[in-house]
C-alpha cells in the first residue's frame, strides 16, 4: 500500500520560532514519518535502538516584535528528558543524559561562523554563533544519530540572545521528540519447510523477511544442527551465508542421520534477530523420505459375495525429489505361504505391474508441505478358484516390497498387509430358495420301486447382483411321524451319480459344494424304495437340508417338506380279472416275475373264461404301483398247450384285441384294460 505525505512540518510561523524537520533511515534509505501534532509544531519520530538515522531541520524566526531582532546570538542543542529540560541541567549531569551518538554535524545560517560542537554524547551543539537573526531568517542543519537508550528522549534547540545573555522567550526554540519504535524483527521461510530426508546431500533454501513480510537483504545466516546424541546445537560449515536481493541464501547440507534437528539463526544490525532460546528445531530429519498412510494395509474380504477387493494407499514424499516406482513384489510370511494357492496371486502381481510400475511419486515444491500422492485401488486382493467355503485360511499376511528409483540409486520400502476372510454364504432369499418337488406321492410295492423328485436351488447371496450361493454340504432327510420301524429301505441317485443309501430320521449327505446354477437351478433325482419283510403303509416326510458357512459358524437352510405314502404289499393281490359281467374271476393264477410283472398263459385264460369270443377286464388294484401283465412270456408257447400265442398255424390259437397283452401291458395304479379274446383261426 502506498501512502503519500509531506516531509517535515510547514513553516507557518506566527510570532514564534518554528521548524521543519525530516528523518532518514540510512539503512533502508526511507524517510521516517513525523507522528507528532503538526498543528502544534511537534517534531515526533519513532526510532529503533541501534539503528542509524540522518535528520535535517530548518529553524525560522517568526517573532516580529522587538525581542525577535537578535543582533548577536548563538544556537545550542542538547539531549533532554523533557521539552523544558535546560542545557544547564544536562551539563551538570552528563552521564544521565547519554541517549544518542551524534556524528556528521553541519549547520548554516545568517552570517555564519564556525560552529562549536561538543565531543560529549549529551550535547549536540555547544555554541553556534550568528548575527542579525531577524524575522523570517532561518538556520538549517543536519546530523547523524544512533539512539542508544530505549526511553522517550528529546533534543532541545535554544536560541540565546548574546546581548541579553538570556534565551529568547525563556524556552527552547524547538525540539525533537524521539520515541522508541518496536524494532523490525526477522522471520524465515525454508525449503524444504519442515522435514529433511536422511542420509542424503540436499540444498536448504533460506528466505528472510521482516514483520511486514518484506524481503531483507544482507542478513547473516547460520545453520545449526543437533544429532540425536548431541546435547547442544553446533554450527554447520555452509560458508558465509548472506541473503541476496531476493532475501534468499542456500546452504548445502551434508547427509544427516534420522532424528537430527536443524535450527536457523538470522541476524542483522537494527533488526531483532531470528533465533531460538530452546531446543525446538526449525527442521527435523525424518526416518524415511517416503512414508505410507496407512502404514499397514488391512483388508477384509467377504466371500463369496466379494471375489476381489481393493485398498487405497497414500504415499508422502518428504524430499524435494520426484521418485519412480520401478518394481513391486508381493511376499507372504512363513505362516501364510501354504495358503497362497487360495488367491489368484499371479493376477495380483500382474495388476501391480500394469497399473503402478513407472508411477511417479512427486516431491515437495516451494510454499507447500509434504507432497502426498494417492494411489487409488493400489492393493487388489483376488480370490482364486481353489478358495471355497470349506477350505480357506482365516487370515493371511505378508509384505509389499516397493522399489523406488531415486536417481541415482534406489530405495526399497516395505508395506505390511493382512487379509482377513469373512465367510458369509447365507443367502439373501433364504426363506424359499431351496425346494423339493414330487409328482407321484403314493407308492405300492412288493419288492422295489422308484420315485422321481426334483431339487430346486435358487439361493442368491445378492439378488440385485445375481451372486449365487454356495452350500458346503447338502443332506436328504426322511422322517416318520411316529416312532415306528420303517417298512421300506431307501436310496437316492442324483444326476446319474452313484446312489447313496438313505436312513430314515438320519440326515444323509448327498451333495458337497453345491453352487446355485442361475440358468439351470433344477436337479433331477431318483429315490429308490425297496420293501422289507414287514408289510404295511407309512407316511414318509422328505426334505433337503443345506449348510452354508458364516462368520459365526455353519448355518442351516431347510427346504419345504414333501410327504409320500409308501405301501408294501403282496404283489399278487394287485391284479384283478373280471368277466364281461364284472364278476371277479378267482380261478386264474398268475405267475409273477421280477416283482411287478405278471404272466397269465393262454391256457389259464382259456380254461377259466367262457368259450371265446369273450371279454375280460384286467385291473391294477394297487394305486401307487405300475404293473406289467402279459399273456405270454417272450412269445414262447407253453409245452402243454398247443394253442399258444406263437403258434400261427393252430386253429385253436387265442388272439387279443390289445396287442400289448402278449408283449407286456402296462397298467398304472387303479388303471384297467378291457381285452376281447377270440380265435381268428375258427370261423
- Asked whether residue 113 is assigned to any structural domain, the reply reads yes
Find the mean pLDDT for residues 469-486.
87
Task: Kindly state the DSSP code that residue 518 receives in the 8-state scheme.
Answer: S
Identify the CATH number of the domain in which residue 153 sits: 2.60.40
Residue with more model confidence, 640 or 7: 7
| In the predicted structure, residue 423 carries a pLDDT above the cut 80 | no
In the chain, how long is the greatest CA-to-CA distance? Answer: 193
Percent of the chain with pLDDT over 70: 86
| In the predicted structure, residue 70 carries a pLDDT above the cut 80 | yes
Strands 470-480 and 508-515: antiparallel
> Measured between alpha carbons, how far is 385 from 513 in angstroms, rounded to an integer?
13
Listed range (61-70, 189-198, 437-446) with the worst mean pLDDT: 189-198
Last residue of a domain, one of 397, 423, 449: 423
Q: Which three cell numbers stand for residue 407?
A: 536417481
- Asked whether residue 429 is assigned to any structural domain, the reply reads no
Collapsing DSSP states into helix, strand and coil, what is residue 39?
helix
| In the predicted structure, residue 338 carries a pLDDT above the cut 80 | no
Mean pLDDT over all residues of the chain?
83
> Measured between alpha carbons, how far is 19 from 90 in angstroms, rounded to an integer?
23
Which residue in the block uniquely carries the three cell numbers 544490525? 269
> Measured between alpha carbons, how far is 625 from 621 in angstroms, rounded to an integer?
9
Considering the domain architecture, whether residues 530 and 487 belong to the same structural domain is answered as: yes
Considering the domain architecture, whether residues 470 and 388 belong to the same structural domain is answered as: no
Residue with more model confidence, 552 or 232: 232
Task: Kindly state the DSSP code that residue 335 receives in the 8-state scheme.
Answer: T
Listed range (128-142, 278-292, 381-395, 664-678) with the worst mean pLDDT: 381-395
Considering the domain architecture, whether residues 142 and 251 belong to the same structural domain is answered as: no
- Asked whether residue 9 is assigned to any structural domain, the reply reads no
In tens, the pLDDT along 221-256 reads 999 999 999 999 999 988 889 999 999 999 999 988
> Measured between alpha carbons, how far is 450 from 439 in angstroms, rounded to an integer?
12
> Measured between alpha carbons, how far is 66 from 475 in angstroms, rounded to an integer?
134
Could you please report the per-residue DSSP string of 181-239? -PPEE-EEEEES-SEE-TT--EEEEEEEE-TTS-B--S-EEEEEEE-TT-SS-EE----
Q: What does the CA dihedral 155, 159, 160, 161 come to, rounded to 10 degrees?
A: 180
> Measured between alpha carbons, how far is 372 from 374 in angstroms, rounded to an integer?
6
Considering the domain architecture, whether residues 404 and 535 belong to the same structural domain is answered as: no
Confidence of residue 526 (pLDDT cuts 50, 70, 90): very high
> Measured between alpha carbons, how far is 363 from 360 in angstroms, rounded to an integer?
9
- Per-residue confidence (pLDDT) for residue 225, from 0 to 100: 93
| In the predicted structure, residue 339 carries a pLDDT above the cut 50 | yes
In tens, the pLDDT along 93-144 reads 877 888 888 888 988 888 766 666 655 577 888 888 898 899 889 999 999 9
Residue 503 main-chain phi, psi, to 5 deg: -95, 140
Which residues is 285 bridged to in the sheet? 196
| In the predicted structure, residue 73 carries a pLDDT above the cut 70 | yes
Q: Are the C-beta atoms of residues 383 and 354 closer than 8 Å to each other?
A: no
| Number of domains comprising the chain | 5
Identify the CATH number of the domain in which residue 204 sits: 2.60.40.10
Which residues is 550 bridged to in the sheet? 553
Considering the domain architecture, whether residues 412 and 294 belong to the same structural domain is answered as: yes
- Could you tell me which residues come within 8 angstroms of residue 50 by beta carbon, excluding any fewer than 6 positions away? 146, 147, 148, 183, 269, 270
- Asked whether residue 42 is assigned to any structural domain, the reply reads yes
- Per-residue confidence (pLDDT) for residue 92, from 0 to 100: 79
- Asked whether residue 3 is assigned to any structural domain, the reply reads no
In tens, the pLDDT along 585-635 reads 876 666 666 556 666 655 556 556 656 677 888 898 887 677 888 776 554
- Could you tell me which residues come within 8 angstroms of residue 150 by beta carbon, excluding any fewer than 6 positions away? 49, 180
Residue with more model confidence, 386 or 668: 668
Domain that holds residue 629: 571-678
- Asked whether residue 7 is assigned to any structural domain, the reply reads no
Last residue of a domain, one of 180, 215, 237: 180
Q: Are the C-beta atoms of residues 372 and 316 closer than 8 Å to each other?
A: yes
Q: Which three cell numbers stand for residue 186?
A: 526477522
- Per-residue confidence (pLDDT) for residue 552, from 0 to 100: 77
Q: Which three cell numbers stand for residue 165?
A: 545573555
- Could you tell me which residues come within 8 angstroms of residue 310 by beta carbon, excluding any fewer than 6 positions away? 377, 378, 379, 380, 381
- Asked whether residue 131 is assigned to any structural domain, the reply reads yes
Considering the domain architecture, whether residues 59 and 143 belong to the same structural domain is answered as: yes
Which residues is 627 bridged to in the sheet? 667
- Per-residue confidence (pLDDT) for residue 120, from 0 to 100: 59
- Asked whether residue 530 is assigned to any structural domain, the reply reads yes
- Could you tell me which residues come within 8 angstroms of residue 395 by beta carbon, excluding any fewer than 6 positions away? 336, 418, 419, 420, 421
According to DSSP H, which parts of 20-131 are helical?
87-91
- Per-residue confidence (pLDDT) for residue 595, from 0 to 100: 55
Last residue of a domain, one of 568, 599, 617: 568
- Per-residue confidence (pLDDT) for residue 683, from 0 to 100: 52
Confidence of residue 651 (pLDDT cuts 50, 70, 90): very low
Q: What does the CA dihedral 644, 633, 669, 447 come to, rounded to 10 degrees?
A: 140
Considering the domain architecture, whether residues 163 and 32 belong to the same structural domain is answered as: yes
In tens, the pLDDT along 247-304 reads 999 999 998 888 999 999 999 877 888 988 788 898 888 877 788 999 999 998 877 7
Which residues is 159 bridged to in the sheet? 75
Which residue in the block uniquely carries the three cell numbers 405300475? 626
Confidence of residue 12 (pLDDT cuts 50, 70, 90): low
Q: Are the C-beta atoms of residues 106 and 143 closer than 8 Å to each other?
A: yes
Quick one: which of 262, 96, 291, 244 has its CA closest to 191? 262
Considering the domain architecture, whether residues 97 and 109 belong to the same structural domain is answered as: yes
- Per-residue confidence (pLDDT) for residue 115, from 0 to 100: 61
Confidence of residue 638 (pLDDT cuts 50, 70, 90): very low
Considering the domain architecture, whether residues 165 and 189 belong to the same structural domain is answered as: no
Considering the domain architecture, whether residues 327 and 440 belong to the same structural domain is answered as: no
Q: What does the CA dihedral 640, 643, 645, 647 come to, rounded to 10 degrees?
A: 100
Considering the domain architecture, whether residues 440 and 399 belong to the same structural domain is answered as: no
Task: Kindly state the DSSP code that residue 40 receives in the 8-state scheme.
Answer: G
- Per-residue confidence (pLDDT) for residue 221, from 0 to 100: 95
Considering the domain architecture, whether residues 171 and 227 belong to the same structural domain is answered as: no
Amino acid at each position: 500500500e502506498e501512502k503519500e505525505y509531506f516531509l517535515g512540518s510547514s513553516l507557518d510561523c506566527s510570532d514564534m520560532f518554528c521548524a521543519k524537520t525530516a528523518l532518514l533511515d540510512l539503512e533502508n534509505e526511507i524517510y521516517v514519518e513525523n507522528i507528532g501534532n503538526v498543528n502544534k509544531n511537534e517534531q515526533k519520530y519513532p526510532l529503533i535502538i541501534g539503528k542509524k538515522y540522518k535528520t535535517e531541520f530548518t529553524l525560522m524566526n517568526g517573532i516580529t516584535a522587538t525581542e525577535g531582532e537578535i543582533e548577536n546570538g548563538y544556537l545550542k542543542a542538547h539531549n533532554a528528558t523533557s521539552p523544558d529540560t535546560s542545557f544547564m541541567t544536562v551539563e551538570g549531569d552528563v552521564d544521565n543524559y547519554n541517549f544518542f551518538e551524534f556524528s556528521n554535524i553541519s549547520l548554516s545560517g545568517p552570517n555564519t561562523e564556525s560552529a562549536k560542537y561538543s565531543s560529549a554524547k549529551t550535547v549536540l551543539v555547544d555554541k553556534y554563533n550568528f548575527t542579525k537573526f531577524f524575522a523570517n531568517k532561518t538556520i538549517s542543519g543536519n546530523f547523524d544519530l544512533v539512539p542508544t537508550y530505549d526511553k522517550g528522549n528529546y533534543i532541545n534547540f535554544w536560541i540565546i540572545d548574546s546581548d541579553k545573555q538570556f534565551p529568547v522567550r525563556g524556552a527552547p526554540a524547538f525540539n525533537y521528540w524521539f520515541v522508541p519504535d518496536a524494532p523490525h524483527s526477522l522471520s524465515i521461510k525454508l525449503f524444504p519447510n519442515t522435514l529433511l530426508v536422511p542420509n542424503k546431500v540436499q540444498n536448504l533454501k533460506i528466505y528472510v523477511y521482516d514483520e511486514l513480510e518484506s524481503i531483507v537483504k544482507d542478513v547473516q545466516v547460520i545453520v545449526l544442527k543437533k544429532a540425536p546424541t548431541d546435547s547442544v546445537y553446533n554450527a554447520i560449515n555452509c560458508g558465509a551465508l548472506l541473503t541476496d536481493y531476493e532475501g534468499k541464501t542456500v546452504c548445502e547440507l551434508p547427509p544427516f542421520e534420522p532424528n537430527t534437528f536443524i535450527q536457523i539463526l538470522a541476524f542483522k544490525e537494527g533488526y531483532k534477530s531470528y533465533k531460538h532460546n530452546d531446543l525446538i528445531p526449525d527442521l527435523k530429519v525424518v526416518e524415511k523420505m517416503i512414508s505410507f498412510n496407512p502404514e499397514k494395509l488391512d483388508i477384509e474380504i467377504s466371500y463369496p459375495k466379494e471375489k476381489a477387493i481393493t485398498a487405497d494407499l497414500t504415499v508422502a514424499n518428504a524430499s524435494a525429489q520426484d521418485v519412480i516406482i520401478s518394481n513391486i513384489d508381493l511376499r507372504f510370511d512363513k505362516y501364510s505361504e501354504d495358503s497362497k494357492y487360495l488367491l489368484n496371486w499371479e493376477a495380483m502381481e500382474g495388476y501391480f505391474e500394469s497399473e503402478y510400475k513407472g508411477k511417479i511419486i512427486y516431491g515437495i515444491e516451494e510454499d507447500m508441505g509434504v507432497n502426498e500422492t494417492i494411489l487409488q485401488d493400489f492393493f487388489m486382493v483376488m480370490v482364486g478358484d481353489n478358495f471355497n467355503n470349506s477350505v480357506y485360511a482365516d487370515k493371511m499376511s505378508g509384505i509389499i516390497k516397493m522399489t523406488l528409483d531415486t536417481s541415482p540409486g534406489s530405495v526399497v520400502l516395505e508395506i505390511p498387509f493382512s487379509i482377513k476372510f469373512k465367510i458369509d454364504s447365507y443367502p439373501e432369499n433364504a426363506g424359499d430358495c431351496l425346494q423339493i418337488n414330487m409328482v407321484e406321492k403314493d407308492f405300492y410295492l412288493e419288492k422295489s420301486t422308484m420315485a422321481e423328485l426334483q431339487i430346486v436351488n435358487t439361493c442368491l447371496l445378492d439378488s440385485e447382483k445375481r451372486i449365487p450361493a454356495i452350500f458346503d454340504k447338502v443332506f436328504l432327510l426322511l422322517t416318520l411321524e411316529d416312532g415306528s420301524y420303517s417298512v421300506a429301505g431307501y436310496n437316492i441317485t442324483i444326476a446319474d451319480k452313484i446312489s447313496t443309501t438313505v436312513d430314515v430320521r438320519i440326515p444323509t449327505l448327498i451333495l458337497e459344494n453345491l453352487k446355485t446354477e442361475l440358468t439351470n437351478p433344477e436337479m433331477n433325482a431318483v429315490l429308490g424304495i425297496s420293501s422289507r419283510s414287514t408289510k404295511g403303509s407309512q407316511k414318509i416326510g422328505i426334505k433337503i437340508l443345506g449348510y452354508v458357512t458364516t462368520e459365526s459358524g455353519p448355518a442351516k437352510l431347510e427346504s419345504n417338506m414333501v410327504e409320500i405314502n409308501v405301501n408294501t404289499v403282496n404283489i399278487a393281490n394287485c391284479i384283478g380279472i373280471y368277466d364281461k359281467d364284472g364278476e371277479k374271476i378267482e380261478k386264474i393264477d398268475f405267475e409273477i416275475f421280477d416283482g411287478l410283472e405278471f404272466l397269465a398263459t393262454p391256457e389259464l385264460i382259456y380254461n377259466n373264461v367262457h368259450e371265446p369270443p369273450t371279454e375280460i377286464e384286467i385291473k391294477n388294484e394297487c394305486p401307487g404301483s405300475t404293473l406289467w401283465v402279459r399273456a405270454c412270456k417272450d412269445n414262447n408257447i407253453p409245452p402243454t398247450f398247443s394253442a399258444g400265442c406263437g403258434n400261427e398255424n393252430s386253429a385253436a390259437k387265442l388272439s387279443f384285441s390289445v396287442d400289448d397283452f402278449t408283449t407286456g401291458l402296462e397298467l398304472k395304479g387303479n388303471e384297467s384294460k378291457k381285452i376281447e379274446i377270440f380265435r381268428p383261426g375258427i370261423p
